Amino acid sequence: MRKPERYRRFLEYFTTHFPAPETELHYANPYELIVAVVLSAQCTDKRVNQIMPALIQQFPTPAHLAAASAEEVFPFIRSVSYPNNKAKHLAGLGKMLVEDFGSEVPSTIEELQRLPGVGRKTANVVVSVIYNQPAMAVDTHVFRVSHRLGLVSRTATTPLAVEKELVRYIPEELIPKAHHWLILHGRYICVARTPKCSSCPLTDFCQYYATQVAPVLDTEKPVSRLKSPKKSDI
């Protein structure tokens, strides 16, 4: 199957069945979202959502966060991955938001990446979710699912390479949604260790299913044994 056909089927399925996907991170404004996304690096959205209410109650604005030290932030995020580094990132992020951006979350990838703890993936999430820009954030789920479905080539071995291929084939207006489609599909169906192919609606065009799963299923099908002929048939 040619790549454009895979994309056509991928987009057709999700635009029909999940026309309005959303991030599972809880947030009320751009400031809360960027804090949540920084915390979500190598951590589950569920865990981040659990700690965000107390964190935001203590530091409700960039100014409050800017006035805090990493040591003051740490107790509120101790249960996430790499809490020491993230506490330092958040304290620095608050200061830079206040001093360089007037307490507003910037709307460009280049400016966002100046903030402590904000890499290209985080920046893409913010501009996509908040500003609805055609940015594709590539995390482990997006990377895995896009390869398994055959949406990107095997030579796309870095997040940036995957990002470039995806945005090349997906219409601009659908890129923000496609980011969520790939993440959610990877989180609940196309999981890392044992993908749930038996309940996946995309197997008819999935490259992984065609090359890795279907051949195994074919070999496991029972083969009917030939019966010995009766004497009367000889």
Active-site choice (86, 88, 95, 121): 121
Instruction: Check if 121 is active-site.
Output: yes
Question: How far is the C-alpha of 43 from the C-alpha of 135, rounded, in Å?
Answer: 22
Instruction: Check if 218 is active-site.
Output: no
Residue given tokens 């920046």 in the structure block: 123
Q: Which residues contact 30 (CB under 8 A, 6 or more apart)?
A: 104, 105, 126, 130
Residue given tokens 């947030």 in the structure block: 27
Residue 218, both tokens:
């074919």
Active-site choice (100, 139, 196, 218): 139
| Residue 137 vs residues 49, 83, 140, 148: alpha-carbon distances, Å | 20, 23, 10, 17
Catalytic residues: 121, 139
